[in-house]
């Protein structure tokens, strides 16, 4: 059956928008209908590249949201705009795919959760790594109880790009624009994966630091302070008592986008590594060694296609919601509080109950 293509409005035309757009173009279910960026040069360049007519290029997202033809929007702006744009999408009844972390802090995240709670709308939070087949297969094995009771989860998400001191003071280095640093940028993904695979985190203690404390202003006018974490190391407990660690850094020499999660249970263990995203290493029962297994093709997934399937009423229930994003944000805030106050923080039970 031939289905009408979903008309997608793309908000924010930077790095991640290319991934969103690629997903739209690759899908038979959707088209780039309109685009929005407050940077007029970026808007013009993308408009020309994608042949979006000038009347459907917007500098203000509210003008895009007023177009009754738009079926849904993607929100790929810096973190500071997530709350306002997602809130406006909810008010204009536009389904949306929102980038992570969903807000600057838990207060904003909670407002989004409440706004949707009273007025539900199809939506997705872009926790991209939920769509890796290795992650989906690991989830399947864990749900089958293949590993027994989980005792430990050791996780890492390491990049190196910030070692370059010439990188200027972009929004990722400013708390008022990003909420936190490496933690919110990279740690938010790992926290989501830990919930997706294992369960709720109930308490945390963290250490974090800033290695390069000043960077050149974007205006070219002197230097400004980096006031977010360049690295963050977290010890945590799951609700059922399992103990975990999470190492996050933008200063891990040689690492591009290195992500690894090791899960150890009473009857087995598995290792997910993003560099081999179609395999996992596993050791079950009496096996002598870890072995690499290929993942059945049925576990393959694609984030943007999943968004369109969701919009067409065919979601598989595995997409992250604002509820998930809200719990993620509460955990991020607890970690920031922990490394600021140098103590264990118990995560608000009332939030976990909503999840």
Ligand X SMILES: NC(=O)c1ccc[n+]([C@@H]2O[C@H](COP(=O)([O-])OP(=O)(O)OC[C@H]3O[C@@H](n4cnc5c(N)ncnc54)[C@H](O)[C@@H]3O)[C@@H](O)[C@H]2O)c1
- Binding interface with ligand X (CB under 6 A): 11-17, 36-39, 42, 61, 76-79, 81, 99-100, 126, 128, 185
What are the distances in angstroms from CA 10 to CA 7, 41, 62, 230? 10, 16, 12, 29
Give the C-alpha separation, 216 to 167, whole Å: 8
Work out how close the CB of 336 gets to ligand X at its nearest, in angstroms, rounded to a whole number.
16
Closest approach of ligand X to the CB of residue 254, in Å:
20
CB of 259 to ligand X, least distance (A): 10
CA atoms of 291 and 269, how far apart (whole Å): 11
- DSSP symbol at 164: -
Q: How far is the CB of 39 from ligand X (least distance, A)?
A: 4
| CA distances to 13, 73, 89, 99, 106 from 57, in Å | 11, 13, 17, 21, 32
Locate the DSSP E strands across the chain.
6-11, 30-36, 57-58, 72-75, 96-98, 123-125, 150-158, 201-209, 214-216, 223-225, 231-238, 243-249, 258-265, 268-273, 279-284, 291-294, 345-346
> By C-beta, is 106 or 282 nearer to ligand X?
106
- Distance of closest approach, residue 199 Cβ to ligand X, in angstroms: 22
DSSP 8-state code for residue 348: P
Among residues 80, 39, 79, the alpha carbon closest in space to that of 60 is found at 39
> Which residue's CB atom is positioned nearest to ligand X?
14
Least distance (Å) between residue 191 CB and ligand X: 13
Q: Which is nearer to ligand X, 57 or 237 (CB)?
A: 57
Nearer Cβ to ligand X (37/200)? 37
**12/265 with CB nearer ligand X:** 12
Torsion angle of alpha carbons 75, 77, 78, 80, nearest 10°? Answer: -70
Beta carbon nearer to ligand X, 187 or 268: 187
Terminal Cα distance for the chain, rounded = 37
Of 40 and 287, which has the nearer Cβ to ligand X? 40
Q: Taking the complex as a whole, how short is the minimal distance between the CB of residue 248 and ligand X, in angstroms?
A: 13
Compare residues 171 and 264 and give the one whose CB is closer to ligand X: 171
């Amino acid at each position: 059956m031939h289905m009408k293509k979903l008309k997608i409005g793309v908000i924010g035309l930077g790095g991640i928008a290319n991934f969103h757009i690629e997903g739209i173009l690759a899908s038979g279910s959707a088209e780039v209908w309109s685009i929005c960026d407050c940077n007029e040069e970026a808007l013009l360049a993308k408009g020309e590249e994608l042949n979006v007519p000038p009347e459907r290029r917007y500098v203000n997202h509210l003008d895009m949201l007023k177009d009754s033809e738009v079926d849904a929007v993607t929100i790929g702006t810096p973190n500071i705009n997530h709350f306002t744009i997602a809130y406006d999408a909810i008010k204009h009844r536009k389904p949306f795919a929102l980038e992570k972390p969903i807000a600057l802090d838990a207060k904003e995240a909670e407002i989004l959760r409440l706004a949707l709670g009273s007025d539900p709308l199809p939506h997705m939070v872009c926790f991209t790594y939920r769509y890796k087949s290795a992650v989906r297969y690991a989830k399947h094995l864990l749900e089958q109880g293949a590993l027994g009771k989980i005792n430990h989860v050791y996780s890492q998400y390491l990049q190196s790009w910030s070692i370059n001191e010439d990188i200027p003071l972009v929004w990722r280095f400013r708390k008022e624009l990003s909420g936190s640093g490496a933690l919110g940028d990279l740690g938010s993904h790992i926290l989501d994966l830990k919930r997706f695979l294992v369960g709720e985190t109930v308490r945390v203690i963290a250490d974090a630091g800033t290695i390069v404390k000043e960077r050149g202003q974007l205006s070219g006018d002197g230097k400004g302070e980096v006031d977010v974490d360049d690295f963050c190391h977290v010890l945590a407990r799951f609700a059922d008592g399992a103990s975990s660690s999470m190492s996050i850094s933008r200063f891990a020499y040689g690492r591009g986008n290195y992500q690894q999660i090791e899960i150890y249970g009473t009857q087995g263990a598995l290792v997910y590594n993003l560099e081999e995203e179609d395999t996992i290493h596993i050791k079950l029962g009496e096996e002598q060694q870890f072995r690499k297994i290929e993942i059945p093709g049925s576990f393959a997934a694609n984030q943007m296609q999943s968004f369109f399937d969701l919009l067409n009423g065919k979601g598989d229930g595995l997409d992250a919601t604002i509820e998930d994003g809200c719990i993620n944000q509460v955990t991020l805030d607890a970690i920031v509080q922990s490394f600021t106050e140098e103590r264990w923080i118990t995560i608000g039970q009332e939030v976990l109950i909503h999840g």
